[in-house]
Amino acid sequence: MKSLSTTTLANGKQTEILIADNLKDLSAHLGSYGRSVLWVFDANTATLFKQLPPVNVVLESGESSKNFSSLERILSNAVDEGLARDCRIIGFGGGVVCDMAAFAASVFMRGCKLTLVPTTLLCMVDASVGGKTAIDFKGLKNMVGSFYPAEEVLISMDTLRTLPEKEYLNGLAEVIKHALLSQDEQLYKFLLVKKNEILSRDIETLQTLVTLSLAVKQWYIEQDPTETKGIRQVLNLGHTFGHALESSGHFTFGHGACVAWGTCRALEAGVNMGITDKAYAIGATKLFKSYGYDIDYRIGRGDWIEFRERLSKDKKKEKGQVLFVLMESQGKAVLRPIDMALVQHLVIAKPIF
C-alpha cells in the first residue's frame, strides 16, 4: 500500500489515506491487523469476499440500514465476541457501511480503532474522509451522529469494478462538484480531457481522479474540521436544490444526478444575482452535461409547493432563511439566501443557457 496523504482534523486526530495497487495488496494490509477485529459489510460488499472474516456484521444494503438497530447489531456483536477497547472496527463498503461502522467505533467503549475501506466512488472521495458519522432518525437524514475520523482509509480502485453504473455516476457528480470548488484547475481539466477513460473506469485514470478529488475535500475539511466556520459548508454545493428534488421524489435518477442538477441551478442563480461569472457557469454546466447528467430537467408547475416545502427543511439556515452555496468563480464559493421567486423560476422555467 502507498501512503497518499494524511488529513488532520479536530483535536489533532489524523487520518492516513493509503492506496492499494490491487486487491491482494489490500488483503495483505487488512490481514496485518490481527484478530481483534470486527468487520462491517453490506449484502453487496460481503459478496466481494470468497470467505468472510470470522467476526462480521452484514447489513442490508441501502440507506434504510443507517439506523439504531444496525448500530445495536454491531455493538452486540462486539460485546458477544469479547472485543476490548483496543479492538478495530473495519467498515468495508459504501457510505452507508462506512457511516455505520464509524458511528459504532465512536461509541464502542468510548471509541475504538477504526479503518474504512470505501468501495463506492462517492465514499472514496467523500464519505470516508472527514470524520462525520451518522444514522438517520425519525425520518431525518444524518440526525444522530458524531465526529470520529478513521485512523486509516484504505482505497483499492479494483473494488470499483463491480460497482453498478448508477452508483458510479453518483460519485462522479461529487467529483465534478469538487472540480468546481478546487483552488486550482487540475481536476477540472482532467475531467475535460479524460472523459472516456473516466467513464470506462480505467484503473490508472481512477487513481488520479480519486487523488485529485480527495485533495479538494481535504483542503476544505482541514480548515473547518467540525463545520463551524462556514468553510466546510461549501462542500454542500448543489445539495440544497438537489436534496429538495431527491426528497420530493419526482426525479427517478439517483443522488448524484440530483447534485449535478442542483449545482447547475446554483450556477444559474448566481449568474442571475450577479455573483457567478456567466462564462464560468456555462462551461461548468457543459461539463456536467458531457458526463450524461440531465441538467435541463425541470419540475412540473404542480410540484412547486412540495419542492419549496422540502427546500425549507434544509439545515443550512440563517435567520430562518435557507442558505445556498453559490460560486463566484473557480474555487470561490459563498453562502447566500435566494429569493423564492427566483428559485421557482429556475426549477420550473426552460434553461437560460
What is the contact surface with ligand NAD in residues (CB under 6 A)?
Answer: 42, 44-45, 61-63, 66, 93-97, 99, 119-120, 122-123, 126-127, 130, 132, 142, 159, 162-163, 167, 170
The active-site residue out of 66, 132, 178, 265 is 132
Rounded to the nearest whole angstrom, what is the least distance from the CB of residue 202 to ligand NAD in the complex? 17
Rounded least distance, CB 294 to ligand NAD, Å: 19
User: Three-state DSSP class for 14?
Assistant: strand
Beta-ladder partners of 137? 140
Task: Supply the minimum distance, in Å, between the C-beta of residue 41 and ligand NAD.
Answer: 9
Q: Which residue among the candidates 88, 177, 236, 265 is catalytic per the annotation?
A: 236
Catalytic, 236? Answer yes
Strand pairing report for 321-322 and 317-318: antiparallel
Is 85 in the active site? Answer: no
Judge whether 9 and 225 are in contact, CB under 8 Å.
yes
Between residues 162 and 183, which has the closer beta carbon with respect to ligand NAD? 162
Smallest gap from residue 341 Cβ to ligand NAD (A): 31
- Catalytic pick from 227, 250, 272, 316? 227
232 as an active site residue: the answer is yes
Q: How far apart are CA 176 and CA 290, in angstroms?
A: 11
Q: Which three cell numbers stand for residue 187?
A: 481536476
The reply to whether 308 belongs to the active site is no
132 is catalytic: yes
Closest residue to ligand NAD: CB criterion: 95
The full DSSP string for 164-231 is: -HHHHHHHHHHHHHHHHH-SSSHHHHHHHH-HHHHHTT-HHHHHHHHHHHHHHHHHHHHHSTTS-SSS
Q: Which of 232, 246, 265, 268 is flagged as catalytic?
A: 232
Burial class (CB in 10 A: 0-12, 13-18, 19+), 155: buried
Per-residue CA distances from 315 to 60, 228, 241, 299 (Å): 28, 13, 12, 22
Measured from the CB atom, the residue of 55 and 135 that comes closer to ligand NAD is 135
CB nearer to ligand NAD: pick between 111 and 351: 111
Report, as residue numbers or ranges, the catalytic residues: 110, 132, 174, 217, 227, 232, 236, 239, 243, 255
